[in-house]
A and B are shown apart, each in its own frame.
Chain A
């Protein structure tokens, strides 16, 4: 086995995302739409905003990651590409992992890069910014993994989108708890180490297992 098919898939996914310009910017637009609406909704007081900043940034990141999930596997299922995955010599689990990686590059990475701006908008204390970015770096891949699994599970249904959010919601609760716990701890001048450690443990657990479950779900759906 060589890695060329994997690279080809990654390049294809990214090229598609770039050429669909508007669509790939959606997560970022969405993130900032939420972050602008929050101060307008709860009032512009810096103390209140600073207190809810970790949670708001994270909820916005979570919602932004949902946007592209509907189209993660469906176009490939409809044009038959997905079935071809099983005919090649590359293990399908790796192809799935590459697909999820490109999803993370498109939806997760921009959020991390723009996190400093988001933090400023909500008056997050400067000492917590590093932890916010670190928590996003560990946590957003988890969002992509969980979202990918849910999107594979709902692939065979017609009304995927509502179901998608119901399936994702309970699975991302721990991610949200530990990530915002870390940022809040850092903002209060405490050590975020325990929260970040648990978040990293989740990622280490999910990284090998979730692509396998996703592959199994995809396989059931193309049978």
Chain B
């Protein structure tokens, strides 16, 4: 009985007006959660965590760099799942969501590259190196830009979304390359110091702010995704009845 209700509720999300309302209700909570987690995490990262024995205070950029990098990749995985759903079941709201993830993912990738560059200048003595991790991350940025460009080039938005979904799935090969790049090639970027299943080589006292920031970026991505999808949906459907009703009701 409950299972059936969940199923019906899930399918209702494919209907634009229902999707619009759900996004409208859920997104502010996600934003609020992201703000709280980020504020808490940044406070701990900047004031509570002790300075690194080697890098002193400059290592604190890690608390933006690492969560942004993880989110850039996690965002791509989310988009890939949405793309599969969109291609197999042709649900319009998932098509839109898959497309709207790209600019957010590109933004996180840019943050990751920029903070890494700023961090690299004092620690490595260079803004940029043609290292495997850096290069594969740059490739990810261009994959994101390619998806955005391809979607924007189509006049028929549904067709554009589906074609770009194929590109999302092709670009998926890059994600494991990014993850394993520090193991396959031993160039400048360090290996993982944080492990989910074993013991991390980072000191335990430095970990909690990282988790707060990771949760904050996840919530931020979700909130931005819902907001952007809602806007795109309204823009595409601006001549349709349900949008007119919604807008008249709020005006």
Contact = CB atoms under 8 A, between A and B. Distances in A.
Check if A and B associate.
yes
Interface of A: 149, 153-154, 156-160, 163, 166-167, 169-171, 173-174, 213, 216-217, 220-221, 223
Contacts of A223: 159
- Interface of B, helix, strand, loop or mixed by DSSP: helix
Contact of A213 (B139, B154, B166): B166
B167 to A, nearest CB: 6
Q: Which bucket holds chain B's interface residue count?
A: 20 to 34
Select the residue from A157, A158, A163, A217 with max chain B CB neighbours within 10 A: A157
Given A153-B167, A170-B142, A220 B162 contact: yes
B159 A170 contact: no
Contacts of B142: 166, 169-170
B146 A220 contact: no
Residue in B143, B145, B150, B160 with the greatest tally of chain A CB atoms within 10 Å = B150
B2 to A, nearest CB: 37
Interface string B168-181: 01110010010000
Interface centre among B140, B154, B159, B163 (most CB of A within 10 A): B163
A173 B132 CA distance: 11
A155 B171 CA distance: 18
Contacts of B163: 153, 156, 217, 220-221
7 closest A-B pairs by CB: A157-B153, A170-B142, A170-B139, A167-B146, A170-B143, A166-B146, A220-B162
Nearest to B156: A156
Nearest to A171: B170
B171 A170 contact: yes
Given A166-B142, A167-B146, A170-B142, 16 more contacts: A153-B163, A156-B156, A156-B159, A156-B163, A157-B154, A159-B153, A163-B146, A163-B149, A170-B143, A171-B170, A174-B177, A213-B166, A213-B169, A216-B166, A217-B166, A220-B166
